[in-house]
A and B are shown apart, each in its own frame.
Chain A
Amino acid sequence: MTNKEKLQNLIQDVFLLTSEEFRFDLKRSEVETWDSFGVVSMAVGVQQTFGYHFTPEEATSIQGVDDIIKVLTGKGIAFD
């Protein structure tokens, strides 16, 4: 499974989205379950899936799936 596929599965499971609802340009403001609890859950899921622990500042500043990719790419995790 590629990292893009892992991320898609993770985001769908964390925010309880269907594959039809998921997009790589999905924004936090479009997802009802991406509230403060969702931020915690997403950070836990990223740590379990990619081994990277978001700082609190990173976790709260993320405004969309593309921001998650940017942070993880910056840590050497490839999404090509």
Chain B
Amino acid sequence: MITLPSIITLTEAAQQLAGNVVVWCTASVAERLRALVPWPVQTEAPSLDGADWLLAVGGGSLIDQAKVLRAQHSSVKLAALPTLWGSGAEASPIAVLNQDGKKVIRMGAELVPDLIVSHPEFAKTLPAELIKHACGDAWSHALEGFLSPLGTDETRADLAVVMKRMLQQPIGYADAWFELSALACAGQSKTSVGLVHGIAHTLEGVIGWGHAKLCSLYLLPVMSFNQTRSPKWPYLAEHGLDDVIVLNVMRQLFEPAVYAEALPLLKEHWMKVLRDPCSRTNSALVRPADIEFFESFQSSPVTP
């Protein structure tokens, strides 16, 4: 069973968080947040000396940094408010940090926030493209976690339930994405991710695109690769998930021109992709020669 930290609204948090509350947020929402909470709002990493709560408001990167900061202050409680779904950072015991241009992954129960604060209004004004990529990010956690070689009957059953609910959502804004994304990430954290994340982690630093955009872009090619190779792929059908329908969702996320633009960099950095820990826990073995699959990959149209 996938469990999440308790979820309360921002209005409830403003009334219920007691003691010295330190708020750390991403700059893009700072002004709006100041009008909504009774505490000072900072956009730089805060000091937690004397703090009772740290309220982290932002994307996955800021929340992951807040998780690591709080872990150094065990008496401080952490409330996480994601401004957009996708990363699931508010629900997972994993923090991915950028250190000297490298992705460093930390994991531990001490990294799980104590509380999730919900305020979907921040996401409603974001560009449609960011929203689409956030959907891809959430799907990448659910699918790669489900197909993981480290998965169990229990994790697959849990993530299948999440994916069936995700199939009911548009590739676009829906309040439900916040909860589903958190469930997907928390479920995936019990298994592993795969090649989608291995590619994203490798290319983020060289192409300058965001993690969610890369996950969204590579979901269809990687799942098409897994479809014919992974021993775990038949589990989708066993759990009542039609892979034609799932791949059609991936087709909605796929952008052929963007894929073609990134392909030379994927080829150049392919051996680095293979060394990424996530690629090495992919559902199907990824070999040096498999770059040929991605060089020749073309999406078929969405099946009606």
Contact = CB atoms under 8 A, between A and B. Distances in A.
B231 interface: yes
Interface residues of A, number: 15
Contacts, number: 38
A8 interface: no
Given A47-B231, A48-B229, A48-B231, A13 B282 contact: no
28 contacts: A10-B285, A13-B285, A13-B287, A13-B288, A13-B289, A16-B271, A16-B274, A16-B275, A16-B288, A33-B275, A37-B277, A37-B281, A38-B280, A40-B149, A40-B150, A40-B281, A41-B280, A41-B281, A41-B282, A41-B285, A43-B149, A44-B231, A44-B282, A44-B283, A44-B284, A45-B285, A48-B284, A53-B231
B216 interface: no
A57 to B, nearest CB: 15
B192 interface: yes
A68 interface: no
Contact of A37 (B231, B280, B283, B284): B280
Interface of B: 149-150, 192, 229, 231, 271, 274-275, 277, 280-285, 287-289
Given A13-B285, A13-B288, A53-B231, 5 more contacts: A13-B287, A13-B289, A16-B274, A38-B280, A40-B150
Chain A facing B: main interface SS: helix
B285 A14 contact: yes
Nearest to A13: B287
A44 B285 CA distance: 6
A44 B230 CA distance: 8
Contacts of A53: 231
Contacts of A44: 149, 231, 282-285
A40 B287 contact: no
A14 B275 CA distance: 10
B67 to A, nearest CB: 23
Nearest to A43: B149
Of residues B280, B281, B289, which shows the largest number of chain A Cβ atoms within 10 Å of its Cβ?
Answer: B280
A49 B229 CA distance: 10
Nearest to B271: A16
A65 B194 CA distance: 25
A40 B280 contact: yes
Contacts of A47: 231
Contacts of A33: 275
Interface string A34-78: 000110110111011000010000000000000000000000000
Closest 4 pairs (CB-CB, A-B): A37-B280, A13-B287, A45-B285, A41-B280
B192 A40 contact: yes
Contacts of A45: 285
A14 to B, nearest CB: 7
A35 B231 CA distance: 22
Contacts of A38: 280
A48 B229 CA distance: 7
Of residues B150, B283, B285, which shows the largest number of chain A Cβ atoms within 10 Å of its Cβ?
Answer: B285
Of residues A13, A37, A41, A44, which shows the largest number of chain B Cβ atoms within 10 Å of its Cβ?
Answer: A44
A16 B274 CA distance: 8
A38 B150 CA distance: 13
B285 A48 contact: yes
Contacts of B280: 37-38, 40-41
A43 B280 CA distance: 11
A37 B150 CA distance: 11
Contacts of A13: 285, 287-289
A48 B284 CA distance: 8
